């Protein structure tokens, strides 16, 4: 008896839907942790950084007119520092809090375009190793075993007594012998076919399952 079916990009998309969801959840958690770390360091450093920039900027403003150190500009720099430092500690608090609030608000903005790019990259990575299974298949079986013929890619043959695992997923049955289990591969048999009448395909699929010596288990 023969069964004909195909594995399409839609099957692959459904197959990777849950792994993609888990990968995106993991990615979002990692990104949130990274953003929280960056925001924490920015909050800590914004005050000292702005203090240093203002102090150095004032010093450079006194140095650059003549571009050399003289007694007058050294005294001016010292006086500037003595005046600037207490004024900074007295009046900078509100400004620093405003800058910190702006930084926090910027981190809180959604990064939809970047997230969309990451999702496409993760989806491509998950889809790549499964691309090779997209094809049309012919499953033939008799009292001795079955042969799965993938279009333009060779055949896989197993005797019934060689079957060590039969797993069920929402769209496929995964059939494997002991060697295949060790290698992490399996024959994919679709639960539905667009290449045969639905009733005929289901009757043939049930006949195939009835010959398997292993009961289906959930994947």
Per-residue pLDDT tens digits for 55-81: 899 888 888 877 788 888 888 889 999
Residues of the chain short of pLDDT 50, as ranges, are none
Phi, psi of 153 (to 5 degrees): -140, 20
Give the tens place of pLDDT for each residue, 111-125. 566 677 888 888 888
Distance CA 170, CA 127 (A): 18
Sheet of 145-150, strand order: 2-7, 135-141, 145-150, 155-159
Strands annotated E in the chain: 2-7, 135-141, 145-150, 155-159, 163-168, 172-177, 187-190, 217-218
What is the reported pTM?
A: 0.58
What was the pLDDT predicted at 107? 63
What was the pLDDT predicted at 3? 94
């Amino acid at each position: 008896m023969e069964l004909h079916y195909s594995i399409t990009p839609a099957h692959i998309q459904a197959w990777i839907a849950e792994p993609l969801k888990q990968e995106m959840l993991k990615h979002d958690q990692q990104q949130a942790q990274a953003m929280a770390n960056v925001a924490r360091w920015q909050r800590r450093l914004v005050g000292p950084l702005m203090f240093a920039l203002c102090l150095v900027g004032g010093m450079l403003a006194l140095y650059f007119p003549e571009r050399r150190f003289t007694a007058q500009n050294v005294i001016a720099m010292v006086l500037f520092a003595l005046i600037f430092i207490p004024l900074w500690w007295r009046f900078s608090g509100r400004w620093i809090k405003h800058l910190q609030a702006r930084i926090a608000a910027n981190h809180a903005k959604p990064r939809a375009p970047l997230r969309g790019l990451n999702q496409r990259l993760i989806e491509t990575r998950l889809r790549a190793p499964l691309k090779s299974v997209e094809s049309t298949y012919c499953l033939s079986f008799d009292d001795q075993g079955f042969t799965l013929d993938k279009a333009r890619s060779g055949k896989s043959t197993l005797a019934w007594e060689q079957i060590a695992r039969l797993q069920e997923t929402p769209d496929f049955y995964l059939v494997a012998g002991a060697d295949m289990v060790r290698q992490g591969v399996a024959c994919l048999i679709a639960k539905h076919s667009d290449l045969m009448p639905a009733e005929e395909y289901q009757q043939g699929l049930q006949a195939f399952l009835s010959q398997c010596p292993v009961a289906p288990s959930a994947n």
